[in-house]
Structure 1
């Protein structure tokens, strides 16, 4: 069975699930930062390591391999002494950079606002926590010693489950 544009329904139904694969690249902690660095031209491993603040050597290696596997970048080994390896964006990697540039710009523009919102939230949460500690507990759950199991079962409301009566 096909849709109006001739594409099988089964293929269309799988598209949202397949897009998660792409979103994994975009949502990865390091990938977009590496892609951004490569948008300035080919880079060697050590140049990328220095340019992407906080990335470990292992994470950079894993990230580069994943991006190469996905066709976002190419790895070129130059036959010189010592061996020289460089990484560059593929045409698809360039389109990824173009598509995600607004997101990175938004991030840089809004980081101060996000930091302020986090600080305000943390202050409120800390004040709420102190207020809760200052109030004595009330109600049935206030007792530090829960009621015995038999007492809890005796006060439970009977319910009917598929024609049987049970006590929850």
Structure 2
């Protein structure tokens, strides 16, 4: 694998917004406004950038819906769904360990 491509992919999948957007799209297809609402506190600009990168790497598909006014719906592709398992594992780990992590951070802050 090309080292530059590997670095780009690592930057994409290691990004907190990529993980959050992937996790939320794991619940099903969403319009931009719905995704922004449930992925708070992401800004519109960052959500747009994240979705474009995920689309560029084939992890998200974008469909323009024939509504008035037109709206766009995003969904995970097969590749994105395969990444969702990894993201879900990380989210589960955070849920299982957030109290211990927060306690360690408090101890470090007091010691400093």
Q: What is the TM-score with the length of structure 2 in the denominator?
A: 0.91
Q: Which protein is bigger by CA-based radius of gyration?
A: 1
Aligned residue number for residue 82 of structure 1? 69
Which residue matches 2:106?
Answer: 119
2:20 is equivalent to residue 33 of structure 1: yes
More contact order relative to length (CA 8 Å, sep ≥ 6): 2
Aligned partners of 2:23 and 2:87 also within 8 Å: no
Q: Which runs of 5+ in 1 are unaligned?
A: 1-10, 126-168
- 1:76-115 CA-to-partner distances (Å, cap 9, x unmatched) read 0012211111000000000010122211211122111111
Shift of 1:18: 4.0
Superimposed CA distance per residue, residues 5-44 of structure 1 (whole angstroms, 9 cap, x where no aligned partner):
xxxxxx6xx46x6433322122112011100111111000
How far apart are the structure 1 equivalents of 2:81 and 2:60?
9
Q: What is the root-mean-square deviation of aligned Cα atoms in Å?
A: 1.5
**Gapped regions of structure 2 (runs ≥ 5):** none
How many residue pairs get matched?
Answer: 112
